[in-house]
């Protein structure tokens, strides 16, 4: 299993942690398992949830939801944010509000978590997969090919759904140009990129709407949650309506649409706002992990840090949120494989995982149309993601460094 979005894998039960350390972000676990991306929860979050609980607003509406929505809209430079129960729900409602439906094609990145493709299937549309460029994000040239080819086969492409992989924004400018040329709306999957930017544009600000996630292993968490971001008041209103069981404004319960129970609880929104306040510090901590891995692998033959260096370590207008740091290993050159390193780290109780298995290689999507050139397949074969969470403290990073150095210095077992 390699789903980095499995919250259970990312979560360390409080009972397994030293209580004096569990509330101090950055101190992490000195011993015990080191996870890829654990929740980073401190005293501020505890207080926020407790105060929301005591306020009496327990339902999935209330002042904390309103506050969290306006905080999110401000951060992502959007007019509207609709807080929802998951990133998957945000993708689902995003597609529905763009009128995606039965038989339509939705073109998305093959290198992503299954939730992106699943949301397309929920609408009875057909996912169409496009390969990655060297950064891991959607290759615009292949997107153009896909749009044209789907059109030639009489398919209606109802939406383009690019994904910002591992905290790096896709080439939204090229994607927007193609989308505009063919008059196709864009829904961005920004589940992994909150807080990132590209050429001055904030993650979540691209497309007719964008979905973000606050799952347990994401850059910030509400334990589970998500949001749909948009500048379009009608999209926001429609999403709110569908997320609250599609109830008509009548005294009795009147329904003319199929609705969903997708709103975020007020308690969790309180958690979200306090996490959001710490987002810059969390990104900075993940950035230091990226720098550590760059330093460790700097002169190791056959190893490249995934995602490319352009702007990703700087403070300029293009910036990762450093959600996950991953490496690509050319086993011929390195003399060892990504899998060897994962196995070695596993023995030291340190979690590392392969990069997403591309959707077009998943049994459930085997019959879907795809426009691929082998790029994401080779990332899957040669890549691994390393522990990157903002809750990792100095003792954790020392353990990780020692384990990797031990491996590189020949301590590896075949």
Q: How far is the CB of 56 from ligand PLP (least distance, A)?
A: 27
Q: How far is the CB of 326 from ligand PLP (least distance, A)?
A: 13
Q: State the residue number with the nearest CB to ligand PLP.
A: 87
Select 370 or 403, whichever has its Cβ closest to ligand PLP: 370
Select 5 or 27, whichever has its Cβ closest to ligand PLP: 5
Question: What's the rounded Cα separation, in Å, for the pair 67 and 390?
Answer: 24
Judged by CB under 6 A, does residue 226 bind ligand PLP? yes
Q: How far is the CB of 371 from ligand PLP (least distance, A)?
A: 19
Phi, psi for 154 (deg, rounded to 5): 75, 20
Stretch that binds ligand PLP, among 20-28, 45-53, 112-120, 393-401 (CB under 6 A): 112-120
Select 4 or 197, whichever has its Cβ closest to ligand PLP: 4
Judged by CB under 6 A, does residue 5 bind ligand PLP? yes
Structure tokens that stand for 349 in this block: 């109780």
Q: Using alpha carbons only, what angle is made at residue 352 by residues 349 and 356, rounded to the nearest 5 degrees?
A: 150
Stretch that binds ligand PLP, among 82-90, 140-148, 175-183, 347-355 (CB under 6 A): 82-90
Are 124 and 102 in contact by the 8 Å Cβ rule? The answer is yes
Q: How far is the CB of 143 from ligand PLP (least distance, A)?
A: 17
357 tagged catalytic: no
Which of 112, 274, 376, 385 binds ligand PLP (CB under 6 A)? It is 112
For the segment 8-27, give every residue that binds ligand PLP (CB under 6 A).
none
Select 380 or 407, whichever has its Cβ closest to ligand PLP: 380
Structure tokens that stand for 348 in this block: 């030291």
Q: Burial of 333 by CB count in 10 Å (0-12 exposed, 13-18 middle, 19+ buried)?
A: exposed
Stretch that binds ligand PLP, among 109-117, 176-184, 231-239, 302-310 (CB under 6 A): 109-117
Q: How far is the CB of 89 from ligand PLP (least distance, A)?
A: 7
Contacts of 406 (CB under 8 A, 6+ apart): 344
For the segment 178-207, give every residue that binds ligand PLP (CB under 6 A).
189, 191-192
Select 27 or 375, whichever has its Cβ closest to ligand PLP: 375
Which of 137, 139, 215, 326 binds ligand PLP (CB under 6 A)? It is 215
Judged by CB under 6 A, does residue 262 bind ligand PLP? no
Are 63 and 56 in contact by the 8 Å Cβ rule? The answer is no
Structure tokens that stand for 42 in this block: 């401190």
Q: How far is the CB of 2 from ligand PLP (least distance, A)?
A: 12
- Contacts with ligand PLP by CB under 6 A lie at 5, 86-88, 112-113, 115-116, 163, 189, 191-192, 213, 215, 226
Active site residues: 218
């Amino acid at each position: 299993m390699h789903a980095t979005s499995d919250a259970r894998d990312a979560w360390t039960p409080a009972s397994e942690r030293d209580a004096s350390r569990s509330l101090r972000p950055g101190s992490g676990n000195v011993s015990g398992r080191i996870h890829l991306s654990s929740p980073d929860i401190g005293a501020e979050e505890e207080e926020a949830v407790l105060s929301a609980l005591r306020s009496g607003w327990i339902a999935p509406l209330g002042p904390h939801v309103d506050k969290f929505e306006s905080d999110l809209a401000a951060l992502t430079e959007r007019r509207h944010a609709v807080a929802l129960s998951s990133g998957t729900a945000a993708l689902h409602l995003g597609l529905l509000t763009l009128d995606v439906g039965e038989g339509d094609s939705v073109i998305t990145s093959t290198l992503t978590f299954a939730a992106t493709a699943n949301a397309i299937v929920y609408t009875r549309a057909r996912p169409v997969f496009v390969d990655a460029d060297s950064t891991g994000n959607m290759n615009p040239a292949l997107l153009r090919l896909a749009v044209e080819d789907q059109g030639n086969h009489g398919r209606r492409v109802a939406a383009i759904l690019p994904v910002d992989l591992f905290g790096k924004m896709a080439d939204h400018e090229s994607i927007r140009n193609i989308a505009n040329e063919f008059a196709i709306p864009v829904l961005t999957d920004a589940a992994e990129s909150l807080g990132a930017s590209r050429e001055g544009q904030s993650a979540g600000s691209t497309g007719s709407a964008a979905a973000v996630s606050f799952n347990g292993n994401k850059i910030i968490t509400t334990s589970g949650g998500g949001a749909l971001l948009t500048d379009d008041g009608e999209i926001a209103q429609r999403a709110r309506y569908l997320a609250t069981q599609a109830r008509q404004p009548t005294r009795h319960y009147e329904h003319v649409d199929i609705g969903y129970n997708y709103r975020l609880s007020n308690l969790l929104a309180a958690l979200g706002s306090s996490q959001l306040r710490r987002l810059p510090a969390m990104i900075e901590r993940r950035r230091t992990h990226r720098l550590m891995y760059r330093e460790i692998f700097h002169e190791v033959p056959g190893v490249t840090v995934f995602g490319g260096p352009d702007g990703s370590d700087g403070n300029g207008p293009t910036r990762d949120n450093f959600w996950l740091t991953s490496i690509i290993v050319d086993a011929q050159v390195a003399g060892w494989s990504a899998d060897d390193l994962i196995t070695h780290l596993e023995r030291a109780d340190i979690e590392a995982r392969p990069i997403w298995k591309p959707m077009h290689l998943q049994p459930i999507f085997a019959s879907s149309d795809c426009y691929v050139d082998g790029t994401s397949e080779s990332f899957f074969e040669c890549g691994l993601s390393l522990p990157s969470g903002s809750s990792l403290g100095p003792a954790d990073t020392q353990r990780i460094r020692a384990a990797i150095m031990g491996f590189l210095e020949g301590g590896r077992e075949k």
